[in-house]
Amino acid sequence: MGSTTSLPTLGRGNPHSNYTAAKRSASSAGTDKQHRKQQSSSSNGANSLARSKSCSNANFGKQQKQHLLQQQQQQNGGLESTVEPATNGSQWHKVSNGNYAPEPEKTLASTTSLQKQKQQQRLKNLQRPPANGGLVGLNNLGNTCYMNSILQCLSHTEPLLRHFVLERRFQPSAGRNGSGLAKAYANLMLRMWAASASPTGADCTSPTELKQCVAQYAPRFRGYSQQDAQEFLRYLLEGLHEDLNLVSVRPKLPPVDYEHLDLLLDDDKADELWQRYLQQENSPVVEAFVGQLKSTLECCHCSHKSVTFDPFWDLALPIPGKSRTSLDACLKLFTNQETLDGNERPTCDRCRCRRKCVKRFHLYRLPSVLVIHLMRFSGERFKTKLNTLVEYPMELDVSEFLDKKCRLRQTPQYRLYAVSEHAGTPYGGHYTAVVRHAGTGRWLRYNDNRVEEASTRSVVSTEGYVLFYSRVDSQPAEDVGDDDNEGDDPVCENGEDEENTEKHVMANGNH
């Protein structure tokens, strides 16, 4: 059906500057100089001298402090004050132990940081998706409902919407002869997010330029024959990535040293392979859609384990042969232990020959946008279709399928925001999309050039084909402990082999 590529979200360094410390040091030096000048010019007298000494000290003695408090209480009519003005212009506050401490001064750095945060928040508020945008339908150019469905889902994908429309940060990659696909996509998104005169989106536009660019990038989409929406999504995202790739010239990397990788811990191995991937593939598209999958292969003869980490752009989930099932059941079928025997026996690195092995997948690095492809079509060029009702939740928690080591570091909660639907048979069907509006949060149904309100109840149906989940910005889930009955590693059994379940993980750039 397609291929998957992966990219995890990388943490960014946060080096600290010595600017604030330098400013504080200069301010302190200036204050000390001023105090010394006041001391030299003070008039004679016991009271004046005592007052000058108390002002020149950075910390008041306990007796001096009590004396000043008594004076202030007399001025206030005997009432105790918790805030006392110090003679050097700063404020003193009573702390829990009964002593007093100076109020921290507002430094230039802290003030600037606060102003910057307020400015960023105001800018973010201004860049929120407009309620009267994103309501434009798309004309069917001739069997292009598959394209219209995917475009409406991507139109409300927050990272792409912010990049192309709200912030307009689109710039073709330097030193790269882009296909023009990203520019055509940006132009279309701007038209789709133009203010609509109707609250239900009576306006429509034609994606003619974009279709031409996609056909140029992927010739299989030339003409007007029926196509698969999931395949179109993969080619479109890859084309956008190529145009926006920050790596203008891909470096020639040395072969992977698997013997070296086998000596590393899983975290180190995953990071090294991820950094290697980013050396060639790095774009806003990768940052949003690509994750990392852990694959563990264990030899049933010598128990040797081989662990690899591969990038993925989406998860292609098999559907159990039932009339009704859940998305969790599909994920379990995808990640459950699988026995590789017979012609599928891989070569064991330790035995140096083909052995019966067991294999298991775990999610390791979660993407911001999780795309799930329900494998409804089977056979060559869609000969059969499964109409199983897969109950996909509005709120998805993938912690059960995430590697244990990652459960404390990553947020495993996702929220459904778009579904590409297919109605009909493999030989004659129609694609639509049901999408949660990025600005208002209400559900809308996009049927080519028609846009109408949709109920939450209608979002889950037997027509659901490609699911779009956005990662929820919340605290990481708690660790479930070591007693998880699912386990993290495959276990070879000497009894009967488990049922061999077909699992699809798209390889980089291979269709």
Reading the block at residue 284, the tokens are 């806003």
pLDDT-based confidence at 259, cuts 50/70/90? confident
Q: What is the pLDDT of residue 202?
A: 59
The mean per-residue pLDDT over the stretch 194-213 comes to 80
Domain that holds residue 366: 130-471
Please say whether the beta carbons of 346 and 416 come within 8 A: no
Query: Is 176 inside a domain boundary?
Result: yes
Residue 426 within any structural domain of the chain: yes
> pLDDT by residue (tens digit) across 481-505?
333 434 455 555 444 333 333 333 3
Phi, psi dihedral angles at 64 (to 5 degrees): -65, -40
DSSP state of 272: H
Single out the catalytic residue among 145, 204, 300, 330: 145
- Taking only the tens place, the pLDDT of each residue in 368-393 is 999 999 999 987 655 789 999 999 99
pLDDT at 39: 42
What pLDDT does 70 receive? 56
pLDDT at 66: 56
Residue 454 has pLDDT above 90, yes or no: yes
Asked if residue 325 is part of any domain, the answer here is: yes
Which tokens go with 350?
């330790």
Q: Which of 303, 312, 302, 442 is nearest to 367 (CA)?
A: 312
Tell me, yes or no, if 353 is annotated catalytic: no
User: Is 302 part of the annotated catalytic residue set?
Assistant: no
Q: Is 7 domain-assigned?
A: no
Residue 201 lies in a domain: yes
Instruction: Indicate which residue of 35, 67, 304, 430 is catalytic.
Output: 430
How many distinct structural domains can be found in the chain? 1
Decide if pLDDT at 213 tops 80. yes
Tell me what pLDDT residue 112 has.
66
pLDDT-wise least confident of 81-90, 176-185, 334-343, 461-470: 81-90
Residue 118 pLDDT level (bands cut at 50, 70, 90) = low
DSSP characters over 195-253: PPSSTT---EE--HHHHHHHHHHSGGG-SS----HHHHHHHHHHHHHHHH-S-SS---P
Report, as an integer, the average pLDDT of 45-71.
Answer: 45
- Supply the pLDDT for residue 71: 54
**Tell me: the pLDDT tens digits for 283-307?**
999 999 999 999 999 999 999 999 9
Which residue do the tokens 């004050």 mark?
81
Residue 180 is assigned to a structural domain of this protein? yes
CATH number of the domain to which 195 belongs: 3.90.70.10
What is the CB-side half-sphere exposure of residue 91 using CA atoms within 13 A? 10
Is 35 contained in some domain? Answer: no
**Average pLDDT of the chain, as a whole number:** 76
Q: What is the pLDDT of residue 196?
A: 66
pLDDT of amino acid 223: 94
492 assigned to some structural domain: no
